[in-house]
Amino acid sequence: MTLPLDGVTILDMTRLAPGPFCTMMLGDLGAEVIKIEEPGPPTGRRADQASSSEAAGGPIPGSINRYSLSNSLNRNKKSIGLNLKVPEARDIFYKLAERADVIVEEFRPGVTQRLGVDYATIKKINPRLIYCAITGYGQDGPYGNLAGHDINYISIAGALSLFGKRDSPPIIPPNLLADFAGGGLHGVIGILAALLAREKTGRGQFVDISMTDGVVALLSSFLIPYFDESVAMRSEEGFHLGTEPYYNVYRAKDGKYLSLGCLEPWFWANLCRALNREDLIPLQSDQASKIEIFSIMRGIFGTKTRDEWFDYLRQFDIPVAKVNTLDELEIDPHLLHRQMVMEVDHPQKGRVKQVGPAVKLSETPASIRSLTPQLGEHTNNILKELGYSQTRIQALRQAGAIK
């Protein structure tokens, strides 16, 4: 089966969520993704991360457990163990870079230069190569070398100020905005755009992805009104932040929640008719009646279970949805139909579940062809393809250059 990125080779130097998510998506679309991994047990920051995870009683939420063999972020990838601090290992990396189309890394600015695998070095080896660096704040600017995580990037970008109640501390969301959307998704977009540009120019280029920049871009619909009117929206201001009865969540009789998105007047009217409360139709935007309407709605939705309300209201052209928990997500009939939860064969574990590819292509669909590799699982095969003899491979392994 033809895949859209067949023939594209990516060297993946990433470890934390944004980069592996980016390269996973490209791998699902057919790219050959080769993970460049440090041989041996975790050292330095990797060891610190592992010990922090253990102290916390398990993987840090939203982080990647590299050693989970069914970890979806490392599927459709090969693994080669290279210690880039060893000159022989760097030589292998350079040979791989000669043949590659894309490199993805997420070190702090300056680290790859110290390792001798920065864009300026690689560009001399392969001018057609696309080099994508995913960082918190980008390659330049006052915060360029500042340490950070998702919470810090959404703070600088202004997104965190939008979560929570007035006069209370912001509510910290999962690391979806900066890590996965600001970094991972924007990385995919940047790489695909650079691949398309290369078809026209014949040259590769450097793709500078800042997670903070990505979050600011996601806030466009919030920022444009501010730019126009110089009034900054804050938490609990605006229908999309839980301030209005027609765009909110309601607790049902069984303690589960239902979401309503009746923003347009006709949807609100449909809801009121379905609830036999046509008297509320003209009060949708009446701020004086808001508290009373909230009370009425909460009382009504407390009379049936969430699923009973969902099955009833969906008949009336109403924006309504169940607030699924993660254990419900995997059995939701629509998500199963869309193949967003898939079962694939694992060589040790048998059938395991994976999140399916979200991009649906009619002619060249994405696919899951392999699951997370063992560290260094493909080292021998990759080096043989580069022309290394078995004797040379054994010597490199004994020298600690490879795994």
Active site residues: 179
Tokens representing 304? 């049936």
* DSSP reduced 3-state for 128: coil
Strand arrangement of the beta sheet that strand 32-37 belongs to:
77-81, 32-37, 9-12, 102-105, 130-135, 206-210
In what helix (H) or strand (E) does residue 95 lie, and over which residues does it extend?
helix 87-99
Max Cα-Cα span within the chain: 84
Q: Is 353 helix (H, G, I), strand (E, B) or coil?
A: strand
| Residue 299: CA count within 13 A, CB half-sphere | 7
**Residue in the structure block whose two tokens are 């330049």:** 140
Residue with the two structure tokens 């949708």: 284
Residues 6+ apart with CB under 8 A from 39: 81, 82, 83, 375, 376, 400, 402, 403
Residue 288 DSSP label: G
Distance of alpha carbon 45 from alpha carbon 299, whole angstroms = 52
Q: Crossing angle for the helix pair 87-99 and 390-398, nearest 10 degrees?
A: 130
Cβ proximity of 38 and 158 under 8 Å: no
CA distances from 274 to 270, 280, 303, 318, 371 (A): 6, 12, 14, 9, 47
**Residue at 218: amino acid letter:** L
Calculate the CA dihedral of residues 158, 160, 162, 167 and round it to 10 degrees: -110
Is residue 89 within 8 Å of 82, Cβ to Cβ? yes
